[in-house]
Amino acid sequence: MGGIVRKRIDELARGRFSCAEPMMAFSTDRVELQVLEGRTCQGEFEMKSENSLPLRGRVYSSNSRMECLTPQFEGESVRIKYEFHSEGLMEGDIQKGDFFIVLNQAEYNLSFVVTIVKLYADTSMGPVRNLKDFTALAQENWEEAKKIFYSSCFKNILGEKAGNKSLLYQGLSKGRPSDLNMEEFFLACHLKEQAVCTCDTNEASYYEVSEDLKYQVHLTRNTWGYLEFTVKSDCAFLQPEKAKITTQDFVGSLCIVNYYIVPEKMHPGKNFAVLSLESVSQRIEVKICASRKPQGISTGGEHREIKEIYVKLIKLYTDYRLKKIVTGKWAKASIALLDELGEKLPEESWYGLMKAQVFFLNGQRQETEWILNEFKREWKDKNSPQWGYYLYICTLMEREEVYVDKLTMEIEKIFVKHRENPILFFCLLFMEREYSKDDFRKLKSLEGRVREGYKSPLLYAESFCLMRNDPLLFGRMGEFELEVLNWGRKQNLISRDIARQILKIFPERMGYKHTVFLLLKDCYDVLGDDGALTAVCSYLIKNQKYGKAYFPWYEKGVLEKLRMTGLYEAYLLSMDLRSVMEVPKIILMYFKYNSQLDYRRKSVLYVNLIANREKKPEEFEPYRQSMEVFAYEQMELSHMDDNLAVIYNEVIREGVHSPKLAEVLSNVMFVHKLTCLDPRALRVIVSDSALKEVQVIPLTGGTAYFNLYSNEYSIFIEDGRGNRYNGSISYQLEKLMYPGKYLRDCMALAPQELSYILYYFSSRRAVRYFEEKDLDYFRLAMGSKEVSDSYHAWLGAKMIRLLHTMGNTGEINRCLEKIDYGKLPREDRECITDTLISHKMFDQAYKLMVVYGSESCPLPGWGECVSHQIREMKFGENEALLKFAAELFFQDVKDSVIIEYLARYYEGSTKNMEAVWRQARELRLETGALEERILVQMLYTTEFLDSCSEIYESYEAAGDKKIKRAYLNYFSYTNFINDMVPPAHLFTKLMQQMKKEGELPMVCELALLRRLAEGGTRGSDEEEILESILQKYVYQGISFAFYGNLSPHMKMKYQLFDKYFLEYKSIPGKKVQMRYKSRENQDIYVTEEMAEMYEGIYVKEFILFFGESIQYYISEKQDGEMVVTQSGTISGEKHGSFMEEGRYGRLNELFYLREQGSTKGLAQQMQHYRNLLEKTEEMFTIL
């Protein structure tokens, strides 16, 4: 604003005055803001000139947080932009202040109020400020709540002391964005109950379905929230309409789940399927039974019955072939089944031929002949499989060799055309001469048939019969042999001979198949000797099959003292890791000197030793040292499981006494075990408030191990799709070791281990003051990059408090560099600031105040800090420092350094600057610069204080001449033009200047002239100055109404006694006219322009005699037309004096005597006037 103000001062000093004052209006009566915590907020207000005069000036703020972005302005309409800084303030804080507007010929205050708020989402239900509001919104509008959940403002809803809820939210929000995450949050915070559904039915039946039909089940949910069900069917004929249903599919609490029954996907008879609906928390099953409409002869039920008869027939035949039942019993049962089939399928020819064969085998030839004769008469197709079967039965009836050979050839021809027919294959199997004489070839033929894909039990039965009769027929363990033998195993047909042959030919290497294992197991069950046991154990070991299922075999091997490579290792590898049992001594001895076990199996061995220590101490003691070495190795590798935990606890049972043990123990002391058996669980996400990074641990066998150092943590189970669960998927968490018991010893022996320190501090979160012995722990934790920022900040605050207690000033500064103050609550920032000031660490404290504001510092300390900073900067001007100093001053902190600083640089409202000036004067400080700023601002704004003259008196001696002249000119002007009461010393100062310089600016001379003219008794100096000024302006033809107040002497001397001056004030430069009646002709008005004597003062001079009056009208130009603005009458009876000498006085006396009716006196005075006139004409001649 300097240029604008200086221009104003220059004009005043040169005697140029602007009479026009802008009329200003604000766009608001008060600025009210809501600012987010830690943010800056910009805004603006508008100032308008209501009389089209430009506004020029400057804006100041009384609050250091409120910054004017456009401090200077000029124009008829201006927008003042501002910015509020809320760093360090918290929700609910209120900041108040004023904008001081210093304006040309005015000064205004505009107050502001700033309320600090958090960033809350504005929703259809209003602002969401807490979890209660958020829950209500989610219940009403889930999608809107979801947007807020994944927005940056949600953390404000949690609040400053959210603790575990904050960790919970961080973990869920960083997973794959989904509705399930928000549902998990509600459940984990206990804001709602688990949403589950009930189904209106759990089974349904649909019979004789002929076309695709749509059906439905109804789900009813118990509460609001997000639901997601996967809909599946385990059978093709049942097809869900949707693979997934969610909350969106519910109308209110009801959801309709549609599905289709597709008959073409059904088989004859009843079809069964399950419609499953599975969510995170429940599984709903609807059992469906359906059948399609019958087609052809048999119904669905008949088809099933026919199939069942087939199965019975095959079972009967295999039992007969394996000699489990006698021929008569087999024949009787088979005939009955075949008759039943004949009734159901009377047109089927196979059943009759089968009966013929059964009759023949049962010795009923007559019945056989009847059937064959009837078939021969009726059957015409001699190339069909049925005809081939007929020929086969004929060979059974007639065994003549030529006849049999002939029919065999015919059957072979038919078989070539119908190779798929199993009956023809069996016929030839028993008819071919080569097969009857060579069982090996017969077995190979059966093998070929099986390899072609025919898997009939009849083939397996026939093959097994051959093998049973002669075990040497199978000399290898091929795929076919395994299938046949496995079929025999299922039938409990493994004999001792077959078992021996199996063991004899069993290969050295064979890939693992469970059926092979079961076959070997049956061999052992049959033989029960070491050879069979060796075969089983060897097979398992070579295929590395370890585990609880195989442990009994290894246990038998050990107990039977088998000598096998890898048996002892297999024994331990297969033990239940969670079991505690006595280990055979041979195992212990073996592994004492020779062990290739991995650490998990070794741990099992040691755990079992520990478990049996009381019973067999002689076995435990030799292993103590090796167990301790093992424990050290595993702790160093950070290995941990249940068994290792037992070993570690055993090793430290008597206490921790060595630095090495304390060091390695830190790797495992805080490990927790999580067990989750849910099949969806893939990994575990752990968020610990003490650590910067989250831990991601895969679930192996439903188990995960991880460290926890504090009580503030959140655990999430993550599935394969990235969904995270905190409550919906249950898990068990257990602590494997108990650090509290050993923590003190461990910290003493290994003070450099971060894990101990984190646990130590986390268990002491509520402690306000720490001890000197904790300082090294603080140093280590503060130097770690693994610690989270918020935890660093908390530690830093505690550390600084400890250093303060210890008086360790040097280290406080280094600690400050590692703290993120934005992570600290206000009370901790205040504590740190107070600590810094108490240690005279003003530079650091001031840096905090610049960033986070002065609210965190008590007034006395704040003042001391600012005072120090001023001295450090050697009183150099600094905007932020000046604002702090001003705030302190107006909060009654009267520090001499601060006051001196303000006296040098402070600019604000005139009233505030005066307050600083008074305090500076009391302290006898240099105030010249401040006085100049006050005087200049008052002259610019025309807002003057009562102390104005006092300030000028102080400034005058060494002040700027131009400013002093402007001051005198201004007050002379306002006094002379506007009749304002001037400062008491004005005319004294003008007299002094007049005496010193002999002249003054015109306005000063006129003001002084009027004052002297109206002042009554005057001294000789005053009389001399009055006459010099009066003479100057009378000779210039400049006259004013106050000339009438001059003494008669002065009037007479300067021919003013016969003058009347009519004075009119208006705007300078106006056209002003006066209309009045002529003295010669009272009916005529004379119009004349009034002369502008000075700055809007217009004067008309008249000579009036006693009793004479003049009526007048004064007009000035407005909007292009002359408008009467004043009128009146002036009369001579109120002017002049009868004691005045000269023609004017004599004539006035004559008028007066005539008015009084004094004829005698009038005649005498007229004669006297005539004589004087004649004498004058004689004495003076007109040149």
pLDDT tens profile 765-791: 888 888 888 889 888 988 888 988 888
Please tell me the predicted confidence (pLDDT) of residue 1139. 46
User: Which pLDDT does position 595 carry in this prediction?
Assistant: 60
Quick one: pLDDT at residue 1168?
Answer: 74
Burial class (CB in 10 A: 0-12, 13-18, 19+), 199: middle
Average pLDDT over residues 1152-1157: 69
Note the pTM of the prediction, 2 decimals.
0.65
pLDDT at residue 923 in the model: 93
Between 173-177, 212-216, 374-378, the lowest mean confidence (pLDDT) is in 173-177
**CATH of the domain spanning 2-117:** 2.60.40.10
Residue 576 has pLDDT above 60, yes or no: yes
What was the pLDDT predicted at 261?
A: 93
- Which residue type is seen at 1125? T
| pLDDT (0 to 100) of residue 204 | 92
Residue 217 pLDDT > 90: yes
Sheet bearing 244-246, strands edge to edge = 203-209, 283-292, 271-278, 228-233, 244-246
Cα–Cα distance measured from residue 435 to residue 544, given in angstroms and rounded to the nearest whole number = 43
Once rounded to an integer, what is the mean pLDDT over residues 420-435?
82
Q: Structure tokens of 149?
A: 């959940």
What ranges do the domains of the chain cover?
A: 2-117, 197-292, 1058-1136, 1139-1183
Question: How confident is the model at residue 301, as a pLDDT?
Answer: 56
Query: What is the band of 460 on the pLDDT scale with cuts at 50, 70, 90?
Result: confident
What lies within 8 Å, CB to CB, of 13 at 6+ separation is: 962, 963, 965, 966, 969
Strand blocks (E) in 234-334 = 238-240, 244-246, 254-261, 271-278, 283-292
Q: Is residue 299 over pLDDT 70?
A: no
First to last CA, the chain: 64
| Interval 222-255: pLDDT, tens | 999 999 999 999 999 999 999 999 999 999 999 9
Average pLDDT, the chain: 85
Query: What are the backbone dihedrals phi and psi of residue 77, each rounded to the nearest 5 degrees, phi first?
Result: -135, 120
pLDDT tens by residue, 878-887:
988 999 899 8
pLDDT at 38: 80
The pLDDT score that the predictor gives to residue 25 is: 92
pLDDT value, residue 1159: 75
DSSP single-letter state for residue 773: G
Q: Which two tokens stand for residue 340?
A: 């039943």
pLDDT digit string, tens, across residues 859-876:
778 888 899 999 999 999
pLDDT digits (tens, 9 = 90+) for 835-852: 778 778 888 878 877 777
Supply φ then ψ for residue 1090, to 5 degrees: -80, 140
Q: Is the pLDDT of residue 593 over 60?
A: no
Between 36-40, 388-392, 480-484, 608-612, the lowest mean confidence (pLDDT) is in: 608-612
pLDDT at 363 over 70: yes
Q: CA nearest 708: which of 727, 733, 732, 682?
A: 733
d(CA 930, CA 102): 16
pLDDT at 1078: 62
- What is residue 752's predicted lDDT score, i.e. its pLDDT? 92
Average pLDDT over residues 308-323: 86
pLDDT of residue 1182: 61
Nearest one of 610, 612, 690 to 644, comparing CA atoms: 610
pLDDT tens column, 346-362: 888 888 888 988 998 88
Nearest 5°: phi and psi at 771?
Answer: -105, 165
Q: Residue 345, CB half-sphere, CA atoms under 13 Å: how many?
A: 18
pLDDT tier, 290 (very low <50, low <70, confident <90, very high otherwise)? very high
967 vs 1168, more confident: 967
Q: Tell me the Cα Rg of the chain.
A: 60
Nearest to 1165 by CA among 1152, 1180, 1178: 1152
Distances (CA, A) of 1000 to 913, 965, 1032, 1161: 31, 10, 12, 51
Superfamily of domain 1058-1136: Immunoglobulins (2.60.40.10)
pLDDT tens-place string over residues 626-668: 888 899 999 999 999 888 999 999 999 888 989 999 999 999 9
* Least confident window among 179-183, 450-454, 895-899, 1013-1017: 1013-1017
Q: Per-residue DSSP letters for 527-544?
A: H-SHHHHHHHHHHHHHTT
Order of strands across the sheet with 703-707? 703-707, 671-675, 732-735
Map residue 787 onto helix, strand or coil: strand
Residue percentage of the chain with pLDDT more than 70: 93
Whether 314 contacts 458, CB under 8 Å: yes
> Phi-psi category of 1064—alpha, beta or left, where left has phi over 0 and alpha has psi -120 to 50?
beta
Give the model's confidence band at 1081: pLDDT under 50 very low, under 70 low, under 90 confident, else very high. low
In this prediction, residues 364-391 reach a mean pLDDT of 89
- In this predicted structure, the answer to whether residue 1162 has a pLDDT above a threshold of 70 is no
Q: How confident is the model at residue 591 (pLDDT cuts 50, 70, 90)?
A: low
Kindly indicate the confidence band of residue 114, based on its pLDDT and cuts at 50, 70 and 90: very high
pLDDT above 90: percentage of residues in the chain: 30
For residues 621 and 641, is the Cβ–Cβ distance under 8 A?
Answer: no
Residue 715 pLDDT grade (very low, low, confident, very high; cuts 50, 70, 90)? very high
The Cα–Cα gap between 223 and 252 comes to 10
pLDDT at residue 160 in the model: 65
Quote the CA–CA distance of 409 and 428 in Å, as a whole number. Answer: 10
* Domain at 197-292, CATH from 3.40.50.10860, 1.10.357.10, 3.40.50.1220, 2.60.40.10: 2.60.40.10
1109-1143: per-residue pLDDT in tens? 788 899 998 888 888 899 888 876 544 444 455 66
pLDDT tens-digit map of 263-284: 999 887 789 999 999 988 889 9
pLDDT band, very low/low/confident/very high, at 711 (cuts 50, 70, 90): confident
Alpha-helical regions (H) of 179-299:
179-188
Q: Kindly state the tokens that stand for 728.
A: 């919906």
Bigger pLDDT: 986 or 1048? Answer: 986
pLDDT of 966 over the 70 cut: yes
pLDDT at 1046: 87
pLDDT tops 50 at residue 1164: yes
Of the candidates 360, 353, 430, the residue with the CA atom closest to the CA atom of residue 389: 353
Kind plus residue range of the DSSP H or E element containing 901: helix 896-905
User: Which residue has 């005058």 as its token pair?
Assistant: 956
Residue 195 · residue 224 · CB < 8 Å: yes
